[in-house]
Structure 1
Amino acid sequence: MLNVQLARKYSNAIFEIAQEEGKLEAYGEELKSVREGLESVPQAIAFLTNPQIETKTKKDLLKKLFDGELSRNVYHFLLLLVDKHRFALIGAIEDEYRALSNKARGILIADVTTASPASAAQQKRIREKLAQVTGKKVELRLHENAALIGGAVVKIGDRRIDGSVAGRLETMRKELLVKTM
């Protein structure tokens, strides 16, 4: 619980700076690339979160990795995380930042699960239909689950729309059970 609160505190800080500068999307992309880059090398995260390694050594690594690659504020934000021994929160901070940024820009994230990979045309139709229904811009996070048989399950926040074949079969099964009782 404390880590979630700390992640919110730090993500709010960088979010406010990004909002003041009109760089919500740019800072979000930078934080995402930092996270993905570091997560692809687990030793880097272990190094940056190890309390036995000196702060200066950690900052030297960050300088080699990111100086000149990131905006000044995002780079200094990473240095602050090292100073405050909060670098382990980088994933949660990026998640919180993305949520704040999406809300500020009127973007909804829809988790779409299909039985097989959705084509670009299918993704476009889903995105357009959801935008029409919600009145907001929609970004898709795609998932696959062969157990759905066909169709799709869409989750936006705590709303769930089940348009899958498996979901329809389950509904029919329940209706038949009720009628036979």
Structure 2
Amino acid sequence: MTIGTTSKRYAKALIFNAIDQGKLDVLFDEILSFSTILEESEELKDFISNPTISKDLKKSLLYDITGNSLPNISTLFNLLTVNNRIDIILSVCYAFVKLYYDHKNIVEVTVTTPVAISDEVELTIKKYISSIKKGEIKLTKKKDESLIAGFTLDFDNSRLDASIKKRLNMMKKQLKTN
């Protein structure tokens, strides 16, 4: 998902506020939980992005969903509702997570393979990334059988694509041009 400038500004304000209050890690956990709720519910995303529904109704629903289980995220709801920006809440959550990782010096890495990878391969990937990037490595593993073989490695807005799928597509492209 593309994170806009406005979302980054709200996330930055939220992270500074959380640091001042000493609740950064707690808020991070709440943001992750809330993001998961939003990502899993298309109806909720549609409801929030619907311009015909009042901002107060949206805020009320978000409070009902989170209840007492996510008390610190209410600051975000209030801020976005007051400024009539509640529709960018998921983008703000993504921006917050990225800023949190930057603040904590965590490198987010995603490896996608057609089959599950072993612990040994996972350790090798972490060592490789550690040699290029300083910080704690947070490795996310995804499975995509369409890669056929090989892997893709995503980190720092870069992608290392060593998949058979990519090679086949490159050969296909070359054959079409010749």
Q: TM-score with structure 2 length normalisation?
A: 0.75
Specify the alignment match of 2:39 in structure 1: 39
1:122: how far off? Answer: 3.1
Give the AA of the match of 1:40: E
C-alpha RMSD of matched pairs (Å): 3.0
1:169: how far off? Answer: 9.4
Give the AA of the match of 1:103: D
The number of aligned residues is 169
Deviation sequence 1:6-52 (CA, Å, 0-9, x none): 11111111111122234333222211211221332222233233333
Where in structure 2 are the equivalents of 1:28-177 lying within 5 Å?
28-72=28-72, 74-146=73-145, 148-162=147-161
Give the AA of the match of 1:102: Y
Give the AA of the match of 1:24: L
Give the AA of the match of 2:36: E
Specify the alignment match of 1:177 in structure 2: none
Between the aligned partners of 1:56 and 1:165, the Cα distance in structure 2 is 51
Give the AA of the match of 1:89: I
Between the aligned partners of 1:65 and 1:167, the Cα distance in structure 2 is 42
Retained in 1: the 8 A contact 2:101–2:107?
A: yes
1:157: how far off? Answer: 1.7
Between the aligned partners of 2:40 and 2:160, the Cα distance in structure 1 is 33
2:68 is paired with a residue of what secondary structure? Answer: coil
Specify the alignment match of 1:178 in structure 2: none
1:103: how far off? Answer: 0.9
Between the aligned partners of 1:148 and 1:41, the Cα distance in structure 2 is 28
Deviation sequence 1:58-78 (CA, Å, 0-9, x none): 232222212311133x21211
Between the aligned partners of 1:158 and 1:54, the Cα distance in structure 2 is 36
2:56 is paired with a residue of what secondary structure? Answer: helix
Unaligned runs of 5+ in 2: 172-178
Q: TM-score with structure 1 length normalisation?
A: 0.74
Give the AA of the match of 2:24: L
Describe the shift of the 1:163–1:52 C-alpha distance in structure 2 as closer, same or farther (beyond 3 A). Answer: closer
Larger radius of gyration: 1
Specify the alignment match of 1:10 in structure 2: 10
Between the aligned partners of 1:44 and 1:103, the Cα distance in structure 2 is 29
Between the aligned partners of 1:168 and 1:38, the Cα distance in structure 2 is 36
